[in-house]
Amino acid sequence: MLTDPGEHFVGRFEVERKFRVPDIETVRQKLQEQNAVAFTVGNAEVDIFLDLADGRLEGNNQFHTLRHMQPSGRVLWISKGPQKDECVAMDLSDFGKALAMLKSLGFEEKRQISKKRDIYFFGSFHVTLDLVEGLGSFVEVAAMTDDEDELDSLRIGVQKVVSALELSGHSEETRSYRQLLFG
């Protein structure tokens, strides 16, 4: 990590927009011109999607992911859903132990996604530059909050960042990487 994340990844809700881009470097240059702060650069991430054997979590629109990031060494357990914008993430210290513990609780590995990800902080928003194996290049603009009443104002803020980075002309993608790769 190149800087302290502060409150960037704190909250129960996340507002996010994602765009397919032909060239991540153009967006990186715009971020640098706007004095965005690099959080992680050059990370390789593996997302392991987990569910119970009967698939009931995914059936209820709940998605659990264990994310391993290198070289930053971060490990996250991410829970999304069942409601739109619901997202809770927790830092863990040991990927192997976390995966073993989740498996002991009945979780099974269902799918994996690998990506290269750089994260920048643009004010109170985070911008990810992603190269997703099997999908291509994407930019995500997001913010998190614990206050559901802030979601509309965060959507407006996300739109302002999208405009500042000139992403509106690119194809917006509303599906997750998991949905794009596996249906």
Q: CB within 8 A of 9, min separation 6: which ones?
A: 89, 126, 144
Q: pTM for this structure?
A: 0.89
pLDDT of 10: 63
pLDDT of 6: 54
pLDDT of 11: 82
Cα–Cα distance, 156 to 171 (Å, whole number): 19
According to DSSP, residue 148 is labeled G
Q: Report percent pLDDT > 90 for the chain.
A: 83
Cα–Cα distance, 13 to 48 (Å, whole number): 21
Which residue has tokens 């009945």? Answer: 106
pLDDT of 3: 56
| Model confidence pLDDT, tens digit, residues 104-162 | 999 999 999 999 999 999 999 999 999 999 999 999 999 999 999 999 999 999 999 99
Residue type, 137: S
Q: Is the pLDDT of residue 179 over 80?
A: yes
Question: Which has the closest alpha carbon to 63: 179, 174, 143, 147?
Answer: 179
Query: In residues, how long is the chain?
Result: 183
Two tokens at 96? 């192997």
Two tokens at 15? 């507002």
Which residue has tokens 């409601």? Answer: 83
Task: Compute the average pLDDT of residues 36-40.
Answer: 92
- Rounding to the nearest 10 degrees, give the CA dihedral for residues 154, 38, 111, 49: -50
Mean residue pLDDT across the chain: 92
